[in-house]
A and B are shown apart, each in its own frame.
Chain A
Amino acid sequence: MIRISKRRGQDIAYGAIGIAAFLGLWEYIGVNQLAGLTWPPLTAVLAFLFDPSRQTLFVRATSASFSMVGAGYVAGGVLGIVLAAVAHLVSPLKEGLGRLSSVIHSIPSIALAPLFIVLLSKEWSGMAIATLNVYFILFIATQSGLAAATRAHHDVFTVLGSNRFTRLIRLEAPAALPAIVSGLKYAVPAAFIGAIIGEWFGATRGLGLLMVSAMQNFQIPLLWSAVLITSAGSLMSFGLMSLVERFVYARYR
């Protein structure tokens, strides 16, 4: 049985009140049209969203977008972790990889739009931007994680005559794990942002496209539904990664 302290219980209760108040306010504003016709009540959006006749539309758009998010997340994550490890192990490459990463990071994703439109098929730009966003977060997280092992721990390995590989596997990698997992958590919304932006540059499917066309055509419930699906997907993945993070922190820190 999990014991919950009084303070913690209070926090949970207050948080629940806050979320309920937010949802209630959303509904209230919508029902009374306080923000005009473009703010629908929550219940109206949910009814629209779960209407069986629109199921195929939403399932198609969601699977298109979420697969871009997933593919970009995995590709960016692997690239970031591997390249940070390479930079860590091969010191001549370190400087250059770091600079390249920060140059990539300082280019706003929208500035890559012309490039993607030219080079890639428009369908892939969502994944490509998601990959870049995730890559940078994971590169930085892994890099600082690999430097997290203390001097004293390194001295222990040196004194024991450890080779480079053993040091990486037994000391640096476990010490880096918390930072990497935190990076993976913060990369979740970044991946979603990347995919959505990519779709805005002219994809033919996906939630991002749905948002833009609904915005332009005054399809208010459709617009809010697309935003709601995207947010829910990001929130749930983020929550999942927070659980993983808590486990890793308890075990490796």
Chain B
Amino acid sequence: MPGILKTAFNRYWGVLLILVLWQAWVTIGELNAIVMPQPADVVVDLVGNPGIYLKNGVQTLALAGGGLLLGMAFGSLIAIACWFSRLATGMLVPLAMIFSSVPVVALIPVVARLLGYDIKTVMAIVVIVSFFPAFVFTSAGMRALPPGSEDLFQVLGASRKSRFRHLVLPAAVPNWMIALRLAAPSAVLSAMLAEFLMGQSGLGYMFRAAAGDFATERAFGTSVIATAVSVITFTLSQRAERAVNERWR
């Protein structure tokens, strides 16, 4: 089927090019197998040790997913609580914006030291990383109301409660989904980084262990699984956002 091949080439020539360059580099540079594993060796390690990869992959995915949802929940609940107080919003929003403009992963070592080297610390880090986008975007969404809607609710004699329920809360939903999409990849990344720096298990830890043992197939195999975990979270959050937007706008 040349048609399909052509489409595939049009789409993926860039990826292909990178792979060819990689192969060329390995061949021309004559890097030996300890430094640079053959793709086949990586596959053998993946297929030969499914248990290790699965266990650690699931752990990281669960930590990232659980922390993400918890952080999103905290962030949006606090944003909602703040809606009822201009002072609280005024105080917290600039702070949260400051935190979103600094590299939050730099807090990992600090949190690790504060809470101890523990799997709960990994979770706490993911919660912190997901909290800020959720708070910032939910707050903004509750203030970006459709044109004229505030006048409408006033004219209809809406109580504060019904304004909140029928206008403010639904208006924040698309922004909440943006926060989810933005927070998902950083949740996965920070879970792995936390495991890398201080964990005893999980994909991040596997990188460190493999590097220490010069087990390059294991390191590259872990890369494959880490990418898969990232793609899963990423795709799910993107799908969710798209589905919600279709219904919401």
Chain A residues within CB distance 8 Å of chain B = 10-11, 13-15, 17-19, 21-22, 35-36, 38-39, 92, 95-97, 99-101, 103, 105-115, 117-119, 188-189, 192-193, 196-197, 200, 211-212, 214-215, 218, 220, 223-224, 226-227, 230-231, 234-235, 238-239
Contacts and interface: CB of A to CB of B under 8 A. Distances in A.
Contacts of B103: 189, 192-193, 196, 230-231, 234
Given A22-B95, A99-B15, A107-B226, 10 more contacts: A15-B93, A108-B226, A108-B230, A110-B196, A111-B222, A189-B103, A220-B113, A231-B102, A234-B103, A235-B101
Given A97-B14, A235-B101, A108 B109 contact: no
A115 B220 CA distance: 8
A102 B93 CA distance: 31
A174 B247 CA distance: 33
Contacts of A105: 185
B84 interface: no
Contacts of A230: 102-103, 106
Interface stretch (B50-58, B72-80, B165-173, B203-211): B203-211
Interface stretch (B5-13, B134-142, B152-160): B5-13
B113 to A, nearest CB: 4
Contacts, number: 169
Given A215-B109, A234-B101, A235-B101, A99 B94 contact: no
Which secondary structure dominates where chain B touches chain A?
helix
- Counting from the closest, the 10 A-B pairs by CB-CB distance are A14-B90, A100-B14, A18-B91, A15-B94, A114-B219, A215-B109, A238-B101, A111-B223, A231-B102, A192-B103
B203 to A, nearest CB: 8
Contacts of A112: 223
A118 B36 contact: yes
Contacts of A115: 220, 223
Contacts of A35: 114
A215 B122 CA distance: 15
A106 B231 contact: yes
Contact of B230 (A11, A107, A220): A107
A101 to B, nearest CB: 8
Interface centre among A18, A97, A111, A193 (most CB of B within 10 A): A111
B124 interface: no
A205 to B, nearest CB: 16
Contact of B90 (A10, A99, A107): A10
B188 interface: yes
Contacts of A224: 110
A15 B89 CA distance: 9
Interface string B163-197: 00000000000000000000001001100110011
20 contacts: A14-B86, A15-B90, A15-B93, A17-B87, A92-B10, A97-B14, A99-B12, A99-B14, A99-B15, A106-B227, A109-B189, A111-B226, A114-B210, A193-B103, A193-B106, A215-B109, A215-B113, A215-B197, A230-B103, A239-B101
A95 B106 CA distance: 35
Contacts of B87: 14, 17
Contacts of B114: 35-36, 38-39
A113 B227 contact: no
Given A38-B113, A106-B234, A114 B207 contact: yes
